[in-house]
Homo-oligomer: A and B are copies of this chain.
Amino acid sequence: MKFCSECAHPVHLETPEGDNRQRSVCKQCGTIHYVNPRIIAGCLPVFENKILLCKRAIEPRKGYWTLPAGFMEQGETLEEGAVRETLEEAGIEISAGQLLTSISVPHISQVHIFFLTQMDNSQHAQSTSESLDVKLFDMDDIPWKEIAFPTVKKTLRHYLEDLQEGHIQTRIFDIHFDERLARAKN
């Protein structure tokens, strides 16, 4: 942020009185511009013994498989965001079931939230402008090496573990930036 979105004056970084961290502050109109983490809401859609995945048509991670999910919008509930994203990315209208995971990802200031959802016969997944392909995968055929994001991989793994145990859990955890992995990639 370089300019005040209220009056167009250049902003500068300072710690406002009574605050304890730096914000973009406008000296002309006094506005303090707060920036906060964003929520990604999505679903893990299940039909019989299969899991629905979407092949991303958009960067980042274009061509990789993901669960339908995206940024929660103003005026939505978590479930409404997850349901809308599932329609936009997989072309199916579902309702959100149990919360599976709530994953803080602090190095990108996001929280990723996934709900379980049961599909029925009437729902025909199809590719959309956001997905090159949408496909039901047998539990044994999940393309683990082509999963787009760590939060999706963890959500899938936990769900499959819980299925075997016969008890689907709600899990709250974090994923932190892995420096070793970043170094290995460079």
Contact = CB atoms under 8 A, between A and B. Distances in A.
A4 B76 CA distance: 25
Report whether over half of chain A's contact residues are helix, strand or loop; otherwise say mixed: loop
Interface residues on A, range: 35 or more
Interface string A68-81: 00011111111110
Contact of A172 (B35, B38, B99, B104): B99
A21 interface: yes
How many copies of the shown chain assemble into the complex?
A: 2
A183 interface: no
Nearest to A88: B20
Interface in A59-114: 71-80, 88, 99, 102, 104, 106-107, 109, 111
A57 B173 CA distance: 32
Given A3-B6, A170-B170, A104 B75 contact: no
Interface string A1-44: 11111111011000000101100000000000111111100000
A123 interface: no
B4 A3 contact: yes
